[in-house]
Structure 1
Amino acid sequence: MPTRVRSLGIVPGSLETGPLNAITDVAGVLVGHTTIDDGADLHTGVTAIVPPGFGGGTAGSRGGSAALGALPAAIAVGNGYGKLVGSTQVDELGVLETPILLTGTLSVFRVADALVSWLLERDPEATSLNPVVGETNDGFLSDIRRRPITASHVFAALDNASADLPAEGCVGAGTGTAALGFKAGIGTSSRSVGDGTVGVLVQSNFSGTLTVLGTPVPAAKAVGTPGGNSCMIVVATDLALDARQLGRVARRAVFAMGRVGSDYAPGSGDYAIAFSTAAQRSGSFAETGLREVFQATMEATEEALLNSLTMAHTVTGFRGNTRYAVPLDLVKLASG
């Protein structure tokens, strides 16, 4: 039965979590999913991360224009074999001006177009928008060439986003993904840092050998299969970090993939997007305080990645291909 890793007695790191142990512990951040699962050839979807000020979801948003919602942000590229729409403007300006959406590789462009439509409806004055949409390839379990995502799927993920504990595992953009030889999907976690919070959400779909608190769990031993490529990591914080500091945070999130056994394959697109919800000026957060922020980011990313596996179930999909859930008894055994 899918279970969060803490329920298995596995506790990555030493910092305390937020109340939900999720990215939605960062005040105002919402998450929504649309899942497409026909029980046969389609296993895909959309996941929306909606920061405060972007007018979506059921709680915590101010509504209104993208300009009002612009937040400091940065992107780290572990390996650039991916289609991260909107990344160059975030790099150039250090600002996020739309929600962050995740989906399957060949649907990323339709999702970006739908996100622009959704935002234009909410801001009649907008003449330029930079949609940020990431992806991983779910083509092993889903008929990726059909590109089944429509605007209504995107709108539903945005409009239904909430501040509750997000669903994890085989949902939204994680419906058809796999990681470290096993079925994976969406995972989330958070850490408290002083009077602030760092929250992480991941879309796991990368190769390597699953490692739990330093102990490898070989896929062959647990009827898994190799494969999976790419990982999207979203880091949110209410600490007053500027774009440069957020870039340093985003890089630590990519580093944390190594803790769970990523092999950082050359065909993998590994990206982290970090943003702050705090009103701040450049340099307002002391550099000396970043040590604990880095620790929080790496711990939360590690736990989110593990949750993305332990919360997933076995799926048989396109052409009869199967990705098996990681056996939880082996995960517990590896953790000692």
Structure 2
Amino acid sequence: MRIRDLGIRIGMGKPGVFNAITDVPGVRVGHHTIHRENGDQSVHTGVTVIEPRPQAAHLQPCFAGVHVLNGNGDASGLEWIREAGLLTTPIAYTNTHSVGVVRDALVAAERELGKQRTYWCMPTVLETYDGVLNDIWGQHVTAEHVHAALADARSGAVAEGCVGGGTGMICHEFKGGIGTSSRVLSAEAGGWTVGALVQANYGVREALRVSGYPVGQVLGELPSPFRGSDNIGEAGMGSIVVTLATDAPLLPHQCSRLAQRASVGLARVGGGTEDTSGDIFVAFSVGNSDLPVTNVGRPGVPTTTVQMVNNDHISALFSAAADAVEEAILNAMLAATDLQANGQQALALKPEQLLEALHTVGWKADPRAAERS
């Protein structure tokens, strides 16, 4: 189930064929999900990878940028993106205590891909905390799980909800996880695609808004994993990480500006105001497809001709990014399923619950919700 299946239209733009980050040419997504029941130390976690190019990214780097709305989170590889403006590896999502092992596994995978061509890499790994529903202290993610996610990477439809890195996540006190969406600009606006992939694990129930309607105020009495327990933290704790991809030819500083607009989509759903949330966003562009190979240990060509979107045409991309992030978060919640583990329970937001809440606050279905580009 996705938000448009309920007749709910987010923003004014049209999604791509798959309404996913994979609508951006060449982008692939893979997951590996781990479920192991073991009493009070059950394991519900995983890894999600985003491959920016059909081939190894170090053979065809992407311009990229970063924006941090709130820094209560961890990540690897961001400083080099900020400094060099390049993405040269896949991006991975996992849980807070597994950033290191995922990074190391990506380094090993890059070594196998590059052999003598590359001599170093700094993989980008983002995290959110799944310790309410997962035995996070057990550090159960292994290199084999990362390799499995890489092997699973593909274009087309993307699995959402309780999969990959999103397996144990909670969003607005409902079950959260992985979500994705895309927007295709009109030909007059450039015809480019913007796609988003989120790992949603943030937010309080009462702040939840859907298409601008304050449904969280109606849904507030539904069960929450944070009520009746004094040892798992407070509602709103957690984080959200976002990757934005586009085929518009953006320079690194423009990618950073695009990443910043993920904040708008997050705010529309009711997030972005918690001290305890790590809100970290990465954006990359596949639009300049002939950037020189990097990290090869020898000098390359001294100059490269690149294209860029003029600033007076970039606003449509910003709007598309905000809409795609907003819809991706809602897709993550609707695709999720109930999860009970380690003495806690996170219930998924059911379609009928959301529709009833929307009707209570005056919403009416939009017949254009199912439109595709």
Provide TM-score, normalisation by structure 1. Answer: 0.93
Give the Å deviation of 1:217. Answer: 2.5
Q: Which residue of 2 aligns with 1:223?
A: 223
Segments of 5+ residues of structure 2 without an aligned counterpart are: 226-234, 290-304, 364-373
Give the Å deviation of 1:227. Answer: 3.8
| Cα distance in 1, alignment partners of residues 155 and 139 from structure 2 | 29
Q: Which residue of 2 aligns with 1:99?
A: 90
Runs of 4+ more than 6 Å apart: none
Q: Which residue of 1 aligns with 2:318?
A: 294
Give the Å deviation of 1:70. Answer: 1.2
**TM-align CA RMSD:** 1.4
SS of the aligned residue for 2:329 comes to helix
Q: Which residue of 2 aligns with 1:327?
A: 350
Q: Which residue of 2 aligns with 1:17?
A: 15
* 2:47 and 2:94 in contact (8 A); partners too: yes
| Cα distance in 2, alignment partners of residues 256 and 15 from structure 1 | 14
Within a 5 Å distance, the mapping from 1:274-313 to structure 2 comes to: 274-279=283-288, 284-313=308-337
SS of the aligned residue for 1:216 comes to coil
The code of the aligned residue for 1:210 comes to: L
Give the Å deviation of 1:267. Answer: 1.4
Q: Which residue of 1 aligns with 2:25?
A: 27
Q: Which has the larger radius of gyration?
A: 2
The structure 2 residue matched to 1:201, chosen from 197, 209, 226, is 197
Q: Which residue of 2 aligns with 1:189?
A: 181
| Cα distance in 2, alignment partners of residues 42 and 217 from structure 1 | 32
Q: Deviations over 1:98-126 (max 9, x none)?
A: 00000000001000000000010010122
The code of the aligned residue for 1:197 comes to: T
Deviates more, 1:99-108 or 1:280-289: 280-289
| Cα distance in 2, alignment partners of residues 89 and 212 from structure 1 | 36
Q: Which residue of 2 aligns with 1:56?
A: none
SS of the aligned residue for 1:108 comes to helix
Give the Å deviation of 1:326. Answer: 1.2
Query: Measured at CA, do residues 122 and 69 of structure 1 come closer, stay the same or move farther in structure 2, by a change above 3 Å?
Result: same
Provide TM-score, normalisation by structure 2. Answer: 0.84
Give the Å deviation of 1:164. Answer: 2.0
SS of the aligned residue for 1:215 comes to coil
Within a 5 Å distance, the mapping from 1:66-85 to structure 2 comes to: 66-85=57-76
Q: Which residue of 1 aligns with 2:302?
A: none
Q: Deviations over 1:209-248 (max 9, x none)?
A: 2111112233532223434411000000001011111111
Deviates more, 1:217-226 or 1:254-263: 217-226
Q: Which residue of 2 aligns with 1:245?
A: 254
The structure 2 residue matched to 1:161, chosen from 146, 150, 153, is 153
The code of the aligned residue for 2:114 comes to: D
Segments of 5+ residues of structure 1 without an aligned counterpart are: 53-60
| Cα distance in 1, alignment partners of residues 176 and 320 from structure 2 | 23
Deviates more, 1:226-235 or 1:185-194: 226-235
The structure 2 residue matched to 1:257, chosen from 252, 266, 280, is 266
Give the Å deviation of 1:301. Answer: 0.5
SS of the aligned residue for 1:211 comes to coil
Aligned residues: 323
* 1:184 and 1:204 in contact (8 A); partners too: yes
* 1:224 and 1:326 in contact (8 A); partners too: no
Deviates more, 1:33-42 or 1:293-302: 33-42
The percent of aligned pairs where both chains have the same amino acid is 40
Give the Å deviation of 1:93. Answer: 0.7
Q: Deviations over 1:286-305 (max 9, x none)?
A: 11111110110011110000
The code of the aligned residue for 1:44 comes to: T
* 2:198 and 2:242 in contact (8 A); partners too: yes
| Cα distance in 2, alignment partners of residues 277 and 210 from structure 1 | 33
The code of the aligned residue for 1:214 comes to: G
For the pair 1:48 / 2:49, whether they are aligned, the reply is yes
Q: Which residue of 2 aligns with 1:131?
A: 123
The code of the aligned residue for 1:48 comes to: V
